[in-house]
Homo-oligomer: A and B are copies of this chain.
């Protein structure tokens, strides 16, 4: 009988995941232990390691799902004719929402995504989807003659992503405290990048 095992594997993974999400949301990441998750999911704690490599990966899986939702929401957003600046700000602020909703989650996520301890294929895949969206924004802009064709689109993506990163750092360090302020800083930085600062 093929399938009894496969069926259970899927169910168990899902059970772990939903238990984890519930607890993370309820008590936070650091204060939720693997044993808590196991108990909530009704299994032994060692079993979890048959489904996720470590605690961080459960968390990353969650982040990835959340952000995927945000990304697809962005695609549906009709920003067709809007200026590049507007599109970029909108895109990154969408991502930033996730960070502000639960600061502890956000920091943990950034740490894992930006300076990962375990370089998982998960994260790499996430990056790719990320940069695809940015690429499409810049492609439109180049087609419309708003941005020079000579600029490598990947480098443009890296540039604006970096600026976002810098702003988020400021947020976690307490230099930026309100979301409005965050958006404003993003706008200033993006404008600098678009217009240049040199005379």
A interface residue numbers (CB < 8 A to B)? 84, 107, 110-111, 114-117, 119, 123-124, 127, 145-148, 151-152, 155-156, 158-159, 161-163, 165-167, 169-170, 172-174, 185, 188-189, 192-199
Residues of B within 8 A of A116 (CB): 172-173
Report the minimal beta-carbon distance from A54 to chain B, rounded to whole angstroms.
Answer: 14
Report the minimal beta-carbon distance from A110 to chain B, rounded to whole angstroms.
Answer: 5
Complex contact B188–A114 (CB within 8 A)? no
Q: Which of B111, B127, B152, B197 contacts A194 (CB 8 A)?
A: B197
A interface secondary structure, majority: helix
Q: Which of B161, B165, B199 contacts A147 (CB 8 A)?
A: B199
* Also in contact, A115 and B110, with CB within 8 A (given A159-B166, A159-B193, A197-B194): yes
* Copy total for this chain: 2
Residues of B within 8 A of A155 (CB): 185, 188-189, 192
Report the separation of the CA atoms of residues A167 and B173 in the bound assembly, to the nearest whole angstrom. 20
Report the separation of the CA atoms of residues A192 and B190 in the bound assembly, to the nearest whole angstrom. 11
Report the separation of the CA atoms of residues A107 and B118 in the bound assembly, to the nearest whole angstrom. 11
Report the separation of the CA atoms of residues A152 and B116 in the bound assembly, to the nearest whole angstrom. 33
Complex contact B173–A165 (CB within 8 A)? no
Report the separation of the CA atoms of residues A133 and B101 in the bound assembly, to the nearest whole angstrom. 34
16 CB-based A-B contacts, threshold 8 Å: A107-B117, A110-B114, A114-B115, A114-B172, A115-B172, A119-B174, A127-B173, A145-B199, A146-B199, A148-B199, A155-B185, A155-B189, A156-B192, A158-B170, A158-B189, A193-B193
